[in-house]
Amino acid sequence: MNLDFTPEEQAFREEARTWLAENLPTEERPPDGQPMREFDLAWQKTLFEGGWAGINWPKEFGGKGLNDIQQMIWYEEFARADPPFTLNNSCTFVGNNHGGPTLIVSGTDEQKSFHLPKILGGEVVWCQGFSEPGAGSDLAGLQTRAERDGDEWIVNGQKVWTSGAQYSRWGILIARTNPNAPKHEGITYFVIDMDQPEVEVRPLKEMTGGATFNEVFFTDARVPHGNVIGEVDRGWSVAVTTLAHERNSLGASGMAGAAGGAMIGRNDLTRPAGQRSGGGEMAGIAAAFSGGGLVKQLPALVGRAEDPVLRDKVMRMYSLLEITRYTSLRVQAAKAAGRGPGPEVSTGKLVASEMVRQLRDIGLEALGADGMLVGAETPLGGLIQQLALFRPAISIAGGSDEIQRNIIGERVLGLPREPRFDKDLPFSELKVGTQR
């Protein structure tokens, strides 16, 4: 496989670099609340008006109609530009990377025409309602139900770990519509209006001090039948598409892949973490990945540039970042050739989790006792401590590390699949959650 960039791709890189130098905001992203939401949407609007939104989206819906490799180049150049904020914790992340791409694959022309331009134009924020208290790694065990009522569906149930729900107008939602079908069947994929009294959002305060995640409660919430994505009772395959894009955005083709390219950037880690990424619970990990320079600059910043043990660990980390970047190129080349995301996205997601762990360990070793401190006045603005506290979330989000290992074992290594005693049983007969 040829992993060299074409002349057209090199030209695209230079064009992106020039545009970012001229248009990247210099002001800091607000730390939370409505001002943060408005900042993110304003930046998305700037991208759209400048012709840099939806690089790999179809032109008829406002995208540039380019390939996935060029999309990755854009991520690399954005990180290289040393922005005062990141893309990975933006309010627009789910719409751009999960909801929008799923609609492109599975939505009707009417659904695409209505939603996609609004996502790219910075008009709305989206969230993803998948996980439940009793259905996380075993997502098909979900119990949120939707019942048909004429031209509408009535939704009742609870979702959890819903990123950005407190800022969202629209949500992608999977709910059980046929409890008499096996658990991977009888599920339908919806787009739900979050701005209705029947939807209650409760932010979850984390030990990092932020609240990215939420509980969401649906009590007779209504969804028009026209908001069904795909076929009724066949929503699991649509959800799999979303999960593939989610793992792709978290793994090799997203923050992990971009980090590898940003390693050679000029990223300044002397600013407090909250200034680099807008604060919040994602500040540490977002700053580490967007800049990539954490690995490159940390030893010198703490006066240990010549420490052979630390230098060895830094070099191992750098090598992993570069391997991840090349894996990303493989993923994008496969997509450009017409092949959908495969088990490579699980590999990328798993490696991203490992990189966060290594970044945390290197940072804590370099800083020593100072690594336990938080706040703008501490070394690196508390970035390392934020990274350490948030690391467990990365190993769970988008499918746990254990799930990714199962996928890789079965689909890459050819190991036997885990036995499924419940494959053909109606969901209503299974002892799961409140049905026990």
Q: 293: closest CA among 314, 324, 274, 313?
A: 314
- pLDDT band at 390; cut points 50, 70, 90: confident
- pLDDT band at 341; cut points 50, 70, 90: low
pLDDT of residue 294: 60
Q: What is the length of the chain?
A: 436
Q: How far is CA 64 from CA 22, 61, 138, 164, 273, in A?
A: 20, 9, 37, 26, 33
The lowest-confidence range among 71-75, 179-183, 188-192, 238-242 is 71-75
Give the separation between CA 213 and CA 223, rounded to whole angstroms.
Answer: 23
Token digits of residue 115:
């939603």
In this structure, how many other beta carbons lie within 10 angstroms of the beta carbon of residue 270?
10
pLDDT of residue 309: 85
pLDDT of residue 256: 46
- pLDDT band at 87; cut points 50, 70, 90: low
Token digits of residue 65:
């109609």
Give the separation between CA 340 and CA 245, rounded to whole angstroms.
Answer: 10
pLDDT of residue 322: 75
Buried b (16+ CB within 10 A) or exposed e, 348-386: bbbbbbebbbbbbbbbbbbbeeebeebeeebbbbbbbbb
Write the CB contacts of 296 (distance below 8 Å, at least 6 apart in sequence): 263, 267, 314, 318
pLDDT digits (tens, 9 = 90+) for 202-212: 999 877 667 88
- pLDDT band at 340; cut points 50, 70, 90: low
pTM listed for this prediction: 0.81
CB 343 within 8 A of CB 367: no
Greatest mean pLDDT among 58-72, 299-313, 338-352: 58-72
The lowest-confidence range among 198-202, 389-393, 414-418 is 389-393
Amino acid identity, position 211: A
* Structural domains of the chain, with CATH: 126-235 (2.40.110.10)
pLDDT of residue 301: 66
Q: Is it the case that residue 344 has pLDDT exceeding 80?
A: no
pLDDT digits (tens, 9 = 90+) for 240-283: 999 877 766 665 445 444 444 443 333 443 444 334 444 443 44
Give the separation between CA 152 and CA 155, rounded to whole angstroms.
Answer: 10
Q: Is it the case that residue 88 has pLDDT exceeding 60?
A: yes
Write the CB contacts of 347 (distance below 8 Å, at least 6 apart in sequence): 251, 252, 327, 404, 408, 412
Neighbour-count burial of 150, counting CB atoms closer than 10 A to its CB (0-12 exposed, 13-18 middle, 19+ buried): exposed
Is 246 annotated as catalytic?
yes
Sign of CA dihedral 360, 366, 369, 375: negative
- pLDDT band at 348; cut points 50, 70, 90: confident
- pLDDT band at 239; cut points 50, 70, 90: very high
- To the nearest whole percent, how much of the chain has pLDDT over 90? 40
Q: Is it the case that residue 368 has pLDDT exceeding 60?
A: yes
SS3 assignment, position 191:
strand
Task: Please pick, among 77, 132, 185, 246, the residue that the annotation labels catalytic.
Answer: 246
CB 213 within 8 A of CB 398: no
Residue 413: which H helix or E strand, with range?
none
pLDDT digits (tens, 9 = 90+) for 107-160: 999 999 999 999 999 999 999 999 999 888 789 999 999 999 999 999 999 999
pLDDT of residue 297: 65
Share the mean pLDDT of the chain: 81
Residue 436 vs residue 74, higher pLDDT: 74
Residue 264 vs residue 418, higher pLDDT: 418
pLDDT digits (tens, 9 = 90+) for 22-65: 999 888 888 788 899 999 999 999 999 999 999 989 999 989 99
Give the separation between CA 177 and CA 152, rounded to whole angstroms.
Answer: 13
- pLDDT band at 1; cut points 50, 70, 90: low
Neighbour-count burial of 423, counting CB atoms closer than 10 A to its CB (0-12 exposed, 13-18 middle, 19+ buried): exposed
Contacts 24+ apart (CB under 8 A), 224-227: 224/151, 224/152, 224/153, 225/148, 225/151, 225/152, 225/153, 226/110, 226/111, 226/151, 227/111, 227/190, 227/191, 227/192
